[in-house]
Chain A
Amino acid sequence: MIVLFQNINKLLITLIFGLTVISAQPKLSFHLGSGFYKPSLGYLDPDSNSVIPSLSAFGKNILIDWGVKYQFYPNARIGYSRSNSYHSGKIGDSDYFRTISYRMITFETFYYPRKKMELNFMLAPMYNKGIIKLSSKGASSDWDSILNKFGNSSVKLLTEGEMTKRWLGLTSMIGFRYYIYPWLAVDGKAGFMQNSYSENKWKLDGDKVDGPTMNIKKMPVFKLHFVFGW
């Protein structure tokens, strides 16, 4: 009972400290949330490529967002924001993991039409990254022959490789934010994400290879964030 009481006390003190740190930086805010979009993932979804593991709506249409913003002017903020799309599964005996990261430097202006309500306008150049990773565990006969001489039994070794691609883009969005408390708000945004992606020149262990033919040139995006701080 005493231990439980001490733990609750520690938790409370940590929470108060955390809240105070956030509130102590009124010009700094963090956001967490998700986004919805509808990309055409050519050869990265099971419909166009039978090798790819089954893909749920989470892997195809949902983005996981986080970011940090700093208010440098009464009506303007600058920040860094990320929207990630994940897909994982199995290809044969290997684990498959695909990430598309939309990484933004955000410029945002805003005003309050009414108390607690904010309209914001965001423009964000992007430097995006796609990663396709395969990893598997298998026995190596050469390693086994050495290890056997040392008196070991056979072992399975992890082998993995990933192919990556970077490309530029631009996001423009209009948002509405409602402040529940001075330190907590809900922010909804709608707009477009434009990408200069081409399937050429993916990198795999230093080699240039062709990648999936995703059609992500212009996509409508909707986002919902919880904003802490401010």
Chain B
Amino acid sequence: MVKTSTILTFLILSTAQSQIDKEKKDFCNSLIIKQARESGFRSLNFSEKIQYHLDLRKCENKIFVKSVRKEVNDSQLASDSEKAKTFTGKSSSFAYCIILFITYLTLN
């Protein structure tokens, strides 16, 4: 009887431990984090963004968390600068007008 209960306890504990390990791994490689890394932070919707921060907080591998944050931030900054790398439409005319206006005010 004692032997059986010991084996049962061991089995339950090991199953629970493996579940905990699995969950720990899932936080670091959750779908949300994968999506943020692949498609950028702005591709996430409101609730996904909350989940992204929570997953990163729960992930115990802090070196990995730091690298993910850096990677996602860098790719977002690159994407932002690519989108507005040059003037489009009338925005350049607007900028030239302001440059001329400020030059005029400086000289007068």
Chain A residues at the B interface, C-beta cutoff of 8 Å: 12, 16-17, 19-20, 23-24, 26, 73-76, 107, 109-112, 114-118, 121-123, 172-174, 179, 181-182, 191-192, 194, 218, 230
Contacts and interface: CB of A to CB of B under 8 A. Distances in A.
Interface stretch (B5-13, B19-27, B71-79): B71-79
A117 B92 CA distance: 17
A168 B53 CA distance: 45
Given A24-B49, A123-B94, A174-B102, 12 more contacts: A23-B49, A24-B45, A75-B87, A76-B91, A112-B82, A116-B81, A121-B98, A172-B102, A172-B105, A181-B77, A182-B77, A192-B106
A73 B88 CA distance: 9
29 contacts: A20-B50, A23-B41, A23-B42, A26-B42, A74-B83, A74-B88, A75-B87, A75-B91, A107-B94, A110-B84, A111-B84, A111-B85, A112-B80, A112-B81, A112-B82, A112-B85, A116-B77, A116-B81, A117-B81, A121-B95, A121-B99, A123-B97, A123-B101, A172-B101, A179-B80, A181-B73, A192-B102, A194-B105, A230-B80
Contacts of B101: 123, 172
The 3 closest A-B pairs by CB, nearest first: A109-B91, A112-B81, A75-B91
B4 interface: no
Nearest to A108: B94
Nearest to B83: A74
Nearest to B45: A24
Contacts of A75: 84, 87-89, 91
Nearest to A191: B102
Nearest to B42: A26
B57 A16 contact: yes
Contact of B89 (A20, A73, A191): A73
Contacts of B98: 121-123, 172-174
Given A23-B41, A112-B84, A73 B94 contact: no
B54 interface: yes
Interface of B: 41-42, 45-46, 49-50, 53-54, 57, 73, 76-78, 80-89, 91-92, 94-95, 97-99, 101-102, 105-106
A76 B84 CA distance: 10
A120 B86 CA distance: 12
A121 B84 CA distance: 14
Contacts of A23: 41-42, 49
A16 B85 contact: no
Contact of A114 (B76, B81, B87, B105): B81
A112 B101 CA distance: 22
Nearest to B105: A192
Contacts of A182: 41, 73, 76-77, 80
Contacts of B80: 112, 179, 182, 230
A74 B57 CA distance: 33
B78 A115 contact: yes
B57 to A, nearest CB: 7
